[in-house]
Amino acid sequence: MPTIAIFDLDKTITRAPTWTRFLIFVNRKRPAFLLHLARILVQAAGYKLGLVSRDSVKVVSLRSLSHLSREELEAAATAFIVREVHSGLRPGAVEAIRWHAARGDRLIIATASVDLVADELARALGFHEVIATRLDWSAEGEAPAPRLSGANCYGAEKLKRIEAHGIERVSFAYSDHVSDLDMLLNSDHGIAVNPSSGLRKAAREMNLTIADLNLPEIGFLSEEVSTSK
């Protein structure tokens, strides 16, 4: 059975979060989107204050896609990821992915980002599987907005989805955010990538590896493997 390496997506593989930037990319020629963006930002502020759920933020943001068909959105996602691969990835993350691929490891993205975007990036980088927030395209209409299919793949829900894939424990796990702490701890090698302040503190307390993947140097992986032998 191959070694499993799981990567978070936003700010782990990429330098910046993808979802809001994808929405802006898709709607960049629509002045009316500015009003919708304001609604999204209000919802995001409500989430920060504990007034609304992360799911509700994503539901509101999905409404900004109602003017496009599924085929148009998939084409936009492809174009967005081409640009992202060209200039939006952490160099060290790319090298780490190549390192795992060369070893024949099973590469999985586990992310709260939607499958529309995550699947495209996975294909571009050679991942085998994607665990993401899924979209439901079954709504009727000329160009109905996709809806969430199930819960947002975040925090405890992400770990639940990983376990639902029949994965009890992984060899390598990468993330930038403390919401993925349980995922990192449920691995032989938990790697905190350019971590948020909360994850940095936890990583130091729990002896997780802290890696700066803005740099292409990934010598820490060889050290991880050698110390585990």
Tell me how far CA of residue 154 lies from CA of 13, 53, 113, in angstroms: 16, 11, 9
The proportion of the chain whose per-residue pLDDT surpasses 70, expressed as a percent, equals 95
Q: What is the mean pLDDT of residues 131-157?
A: 84
Choice among 4-13, 100-109, 133-142, 144-153 with the minimum mean pLDDT: 133-142
CB pairs under 8 A, 24+ apart, for 22-25? 22/76, 22/77, 22/80, 22/117, 23/61, 23/64, 23/65, 25/76, 25/79, 25/80, 25/83
pLDDT of residue 34: 84
For 77-124, what is each residue's pLDDT tens digit? Answer: 999 999 999 999 999 999 999 999 999 999 999 999 999 999 999 999
- CA–CA separation, 114 vs 61, rounded Å? 11
Q: Is the pLDDT of residue 142 over 60?
A: no
Return the pLDDT at 186. Answer: 94
Indicate the pTM of the whole model: 0.92
Domain coordinates of the chain in residue numbers? 4-228
Q: Is 127 helix (H, G, I), strand (E, B) or coil?
A: coil
Q: Smallest Cα–Cα separation from 12: which of 69, 68, 71, 89?
A: 89
pLDDT of residue 47: 82
Q: Could you tell me which of 117, 142, 145, 139 has the C-alpha nearest to residue 130? A: 117
pLDDT of residue 199: 97
Question: pLDDT tens, 33-74?
Answer: 888 888 888 888 888 888 888 888 888 889 889 888 899 999
Per mean pLDDT, which of 63-67, 140-144, 158-162, 165-169 is the most reliable? Answer: 158-162
pLDDT at 32: 84
Q: Comparing 27-31, 93-97, 136-140, 142-146, which segment has the lowest mean pLDDT?
A: 142-146
The pLDDT of residue 229: 54
Mean predicted lDDT score pLDDT of the chain: 92
CATH architecture of structural domain 4-228? 3-Layer(aba) Sandwich (3.40)
Rounded to 5 degrees, φ, ψ at 214 are -70, -15
* Chain segment 177-214, per-residue pLDDT in tens: 999 999 999 999 999 999 999 999 999 999 999 999 99
The residue with greater pLDDT, 148 or 10, is 10
**pLDDT in the model for residue 153:** 95
